[in-house]
Chain A
Amino acid sequence: MIRLCRLENETLSSVATKDINISEVSEHTVEIITNSGEGAQKCAQIFGQTCAKMGNGVWTVEIIPAEIEPPHHTVTSTSGNIIRFGTDKVTNWGDQSKLAVAFNDQVLLSRHRLDSLHDNCIILQESLWENHEDEDIRRMYREAMEEMSSKNYRFVNVPIEEEALKIVSNPSHGKNMFALGLLAEIYQRDVSIIERQIAHIFRLKSQKVIDSNIELVKAGAAWARENLDFQFHIPSVPAEEERIVMNGNQACGLGSIAAGMELCSMYPITPATSVSHELAEVIENYGGIVHQAEDEIAAAGVAIGASYAGKVALTVTSGPGMALKTEFIALAIMVEVPLVVLDVQRGGPSTGLPTKVEQSDLLSSIYGQPGDAPRVVIAPRSIEECFHSMVTARRIAETFRTVVIVLTDANLATGVQQFTRPELDVRWQQGPIDQSPVPEGLRPYEWDPKTGMSRRIIPGMPGGAHTVTGLAHDELSLVSYHPSGNELGMRMRSRKLAVFQSTLMPPEVHGDEEGDLLVVGWGSTHGAIEEAVDRARAEGRKVSSCQLTFLSPLEPGIKDIFSKFDKVMTVEINYSDTVGDPYITEETRRYGQLAWLLRAHTLIDIDCWTSCPGQPLRPKDIYQNIIAKLEPSQDIEIGEAS
C-alpha cells in the first residue's frame, strides 16, 4: 500500500512501502525529554553525532534543569536535548520541534508550556503513566493531557520502560537507548554508526554494557518498525571536505591548544567548566597545563604571572567569575601583559541562570573596570568560530600587549555543530617572544608615541629584568605620580586600541546594502537572525542583517552601513525595557547592551528587540519582531520570545 503524507511547509517527494508513510523533508527538529538523570543527553549526543556523520547539517541545544537532581516527574525536572538536522548546514535550533520522545507527561507539559512543540508535533510518549496504579500520577497525566489538548499533537504511546526492562534491570539505564532505537528507525539512521558511537561513549565501561546498549537500540528500532506507520527521510549531502563535530566549549579548548596556549588557569563555573575538562584531557600532550586555582581571582593571577614570564596564557570563566577577575584584568591591562580571557556567558546578574544562555556580559566586558582600562572584546558567531577565535585572540593579545576577552555563551558552549576540520598551521603556535638580548637602553614601556605600542620584554631575556606595577608608572616601569606621566600611560594604552581598530575591516552585510531595516546582532544569535531575515526577504521585504564580531574596538564603517537603512534594530539575548510598560517612556527606557553601545558610537537612533528567556532566540520570534518593526500597526504579539 502506498500512502502519501504532506507535512506543513515541507515537500513530499517520495513514496512509502508497506503501510509506512515515508515523508521526505529537508529538515526536522526532534527533542528527547526526560527526567534529569535518565540519559537524554547521551541519547541525543549519539543521535546528533550519527546525523552529522551521515552528512546532515546539525545543531543541538541542551535542556538542562537549573537544579541538580530536581524531583522526578515534575515540570522542573525536565532534562533533554533538541536536535535540529537537515540536508543543508544548520545554524540554529529553529522554531519548534516536530517530533518529541517524552518519558513522562510532566516533562512534556513543561515543553508544551514553553511553546517548544509544533502544533502538529508527533509525540512518542511513555505509556506507563496513563493507567498507573497511583491515582495522583493518573490525575497528573489526565490534567497534563487536558492542558495540551489545545494543540493538534499526535500522541503515540510507547511502552518504553516495559521494553527496556526486557533487556536491563534498571530502566533508567536503558530507556534512553531504546528511545535512540526509535529515532534510528523513524529517521533511517545508519545503525553501524550508532553502534560505533555507543562503543566510543561507553569505552571506559565493560563490553557487557556496550552490548546491552546496542541491544536496546535494536529493540527500539524493532518496536518502531513493527508499530509505527511513519518515517522521515532527510537527504544528506556528503561533504567534500573532512568534517568534525563538537560543541563550543570543546572547540574553544581545542582551539586554544591549536593556538599554542601553554597554560589555562580556571576555577570551575557553569557553563565554562567543560572547556578545562577538554583541555585537561589532552593539553599535557602538547606541553601545556591546566591549573585549577583556588578561586577565580587566583586563576586570573596565575595566567597573568605565566604571561609575564613569557608563556601563552588563557583564563576561562563565566559572568560571576568575570566580576571577580575584574581587578586582575585591570592589572594585565595596566602592565600590558598579553592575556586571553574566555567568558562563556550565562544568565545573570549574580548567580542568575547558571545553565542558561544570555548575552549580558557585553558592557561589563568592555567597560567593567574602575579607571580607564581599554581592552579588546571579540565574539565568535558559531562553534567553528569558537575554535578559530582562540588563535586570533592570542595573536591580538601579543601584538598589542593587551587583554582580549572572547565572549561565547551557553548556547555555543553546549550546542553541537559540525564544521570543516581545521588544517592546523604551525605558525599559529609560533613562539610568543623574541628572546634575543634586550637592546641596550630599551625601556619596559618604550611607547611609540604614534601607536602606543612597545616591545614586550620578558624578565628572562638577557637584559630584560624589570619589575611591573599596577600603580601609575613611567616608561621604565617605575612608579610615577607625575600628572603628565599618568596621562601619557592612559593615552598610550588607549592608542593601541585605535591602532588595532585601523586594521579592522567593515562588517559584512547579509542581504542588500540598503533597505528599510537592518538587524544587528552579535555572537551566537547569528544563525537565527539570518534565518529570520531570509524569511522576511523571501516575502519581498527590504531587510538585511549584520553580525558584529569585534565589539571593542568596534569594526569601522558601521555608521555608514547603518545610514543606508531607514531603521536599525539590534536583536540580543539580554534585557531591555519596553516602551509603554509602567514608568517606561522613550526617555527612561533602557536598551539592549549592543544597542547602548551602538547608539553611543554612531549617534543614530538605534532600536532593539531583546529577550532573556534563558534559551536561544528562535528565528520565528525574530521574524515576528522584524515584521513588527517594519509595520508597527500590524497586530502581532511582540516583545517576548516563546
Chain B
Amino acid sequence: MPSEERKGIALDAIRPGIERFQAAVAKTAEEVRGLLAGTSDSEDDQTAALGFFARGKVDMDRFSAFMPESGHIDEAAEAPTRAAQEVMDSLLARGDELFVLTVQQGEELASAVADRLAEIGRAFAAAHVVELAQRHEYSEEKHAGLLSCYPFAQWSRSERSLAPGLVIELPGEVLTPASIVPFLDRATKIVFVVEGDAPAAALSRVVSPGVFVQQETGEAALEAFTAFDGTAVAALMPDKAVSFVHDPAAGETTYERFVSLNFPKEVRKRAIGGISAAQQAEDYALLETLSVVPSPTGEAASDPAGKLSAWLLSQADLASGG
C-alpha cells in the first residue's frame, strides 16, 4: 500500500482525538478572544453580549451598568493573554500537519516524540498562561517559556485525556516502540507508519494489560484501535512482520486479549537498526508466551484450534470435577 494511503488511514484512526483536541483549543481561543474583546468593557461590548433577544426590550445602557466586569483583563495581563491566544491560533492553523511526525534515519524516536508532544502541549500551556494572567500570578520570567514548550511530563491528568494522538512516519530501523512508553498514558494514541525493514514483532514490547496494541501488514483495519477508549499504539508494518491485535477489552487474561496473532512464514534473522537478531527473537518469544492458552490439564496450546478447545473446556469447567 502506498505510503500516502497508509498515512491517510493512520490519520483517520486518530481523527476523533484530533477533533476533540482542536475543538477544545478552538473553544478556548474563542473565549480568550472574547476576553480580550471585552477588555475595554465598552458599551458596545456589553450591548452585544446581551444578544438580539434583548433589543427593544431591555435598556442596554441601564443593563450594562449592572453587568460585572466579566473576565476583565488588565493592562499587565493583556500581553501574555494575547501571546497565549496567538499560540492557540497558530497551532490550530497547522491542521493535520501538527499531528504527523516524520522521524528520519539517525534521529532518536523518543526525543522526536517528546518534542512534538511538547509543541502540542503549548495549547494547554496557553490556557494556563491566560489563567495565571487573570489571577495576576503571571511572571514573565517564570512562565513565558511555557508558551514555547510544554513537555508531556507536565501535562495534567485532564490534559492527557485530551491528548490528540500522533501519526509517526519512520524507517523500520528507527522503530524502537519501547522508547515511547513514557508517553503512553490515558488518551494517547500513536500510529507508526513504517517504511522498509523493521523488527518483525517490534510492538511486542509495549503490550501491557491496559494498552491496545495492533501491528498490521497489508490492508489495515484500525476501527477497533480508533474505538478503543484508552491508550493505544498501532503500527502499519511492511510485509514479513507479525500481525496481531491485543485488545484489553477482549478479556481478563492475557491470552484472551490477543484477539488475533499471525506469524509470518519467513523471518529475517539479522540485526535491524540497533536491534539484534537475538532481541528480535525475544520479541517473538514474548508474543508466543503471552498468547499461550492455558489448558485445564496444565498443557499449553498456541494454535487456534488448541486455543478454542482449551477455552471450551475451561467454560465447561471439567477440571473441577463433579
Contacts and interface: CB of A to CB of B under 8 A. Distances in A.
Interface of A: 259-260, 284-288, 378, 380, 385, 388-389, 391-392, 395, 398-400, 422, 425-437, 451, 453, 455-456, 461-462, 499-500, 502-505, 507-508, 549-550, 555
Contact of B57 (A287, A391, A505): A505
15 contacts: A284-B23, A286-B26, A385-B53, A427-B38, A428-B48, A428-B49, A430-B71, A431-B70, A431-B71, A433-B71, A435-B71, A503-B62, A504-B58, A504-B59, A507-B57
Interface residues of B, number: 41
B28 interface: yes
Nearest to A285: B23
Contacts of B26: 285-287
A55 B52 CA distance: 24
A400 B50 CA distance: 13
Contact of B59 (A434, A462, A503, A508): A503
A431 B35 contact: yes
A523 to B, nearest CB: 13
B317 interface: no
A259 B136 CA distance: 27
Interface of B: 19-20, 23-24, 26-28, 30-31, 33-35, 37-38, 45, 48-54, 56-59, 62-63, 66-72, 74, 131, 134-137
Contact of A395 (B30, B31, B38, B67): B67
A427 B56 contact: no
A426 B33 contact: yes
A-B pairs, top 7 by smallest CB distance, nearest first, are A287-B27, A391-B51, A431-B71, A435-B134, A388-B53, A430-B34, A392-B53
B23 A395 contact: no
A391 B37 contact: no
Contacts of B30: 426, 429
B34 A426 contact: yes
Given A287-B28, A503-B66, A430 B57 contact: no
Nearest to A461: B135
Most A CB within 10 A of own CB, among B31, B51, B69: B51
Contacts of A508: 56
A504 B62 CA distance: 9
A399 B51 contact: no
Contacts of A431: 31, 34-35, 70-71
Contact of A429 (B20, B31, B53): B31
A393 to B, nearest CB: 8
A380 B63 CA distance: 19
Contacts of B27: 286-288
A286 B23 contact: yes
A400 B71 contact: no
A504 B71 CA distance: 25
A505 B33 CA distance: 31
A432 B52 contact: no
Contact of A392 (B31, B50, B70): B50
Contact of A435 (B34, B51, B135): B135
A427 B23 contact: no
Contacts of A429: 30-31, 34
Contacts of B63: 399, 503
A436 B62 contact: no
Main secondary structure of the interface of B (DSSP, over half): helix
A456 B49 CA distance: 18
Nearest to B50: A395
Given A287-B26, A427-B37, A430-B38, 10 more contacts: A260-B34, A285-B26, A391-B53, A429-B34, A430-B70, A430-B71, A436-B74, A462-B135, A499-B66, A505-B57
B135 A436 contact: yes
Given A285-B19, A437-B135, A453 B66 contact: yes
B20 A455 contact: no
Contact of B62 (A260, A378, A502): A502
Contacts of B67: 395, 399
Nearest to A378: B53
Nearest to A388: B53
B51 A451 contact: no
Nearest to B33: A426
Contacts of B134: 434-436
A435 B56 contact: no
Contacts of A425: 48-49
A429 B26 CA distance: 12
Contacts of B68: 398-399, 434, 455-456
Contacts of B34: 260, 426-427, 429-431
A363 to B, nearest CB: 22
A502 B63 CA distance: 8
Contact of A259 (B24, B37, B51): B51
A406 B53 CA distance: 12
Contacts of A461: 135
A549 B20 CA distance: 38
Contacts of A549: 53, 57
Given A285-B23, A287-B27, A391 B69 contact: no
A325 to B, nearest CB: 23
A538 to B, nearest CB: 25
Contacts of A398: 68, 70
A427 B20 contact: no
B168 to A, nearest CB: 26
Nearest to B61: A503
Most B CB within 10 A of own CB, among A259, A285, A430, A504: A430
Contacts of B53: 378, 380, 385, 388-389, 391-392, 549
Contact of B48 (A422, A427, A433, A451): A427
Contact of A432 (B24, B51, B62, B70): B70
A159 B48 CA distance: 56
A215 to B, nearest CB: 33
A336 B39 CA distance: 25
A391 B51 CA distance: 6
B187 to A, nearest CB: 14
Contacts of A462: 135, 137
Contacts of A389: 51, 53
Nearest to A406: B53
A282 to B, nearest CB: 9
B54 A392 contact: yes
A287 B134 CA distance: 20
A428 B35 CA distance: 11
Contacts of A259: 51
Most B CB within 10 A of own CB, among A385, A453, A503, A504: A503
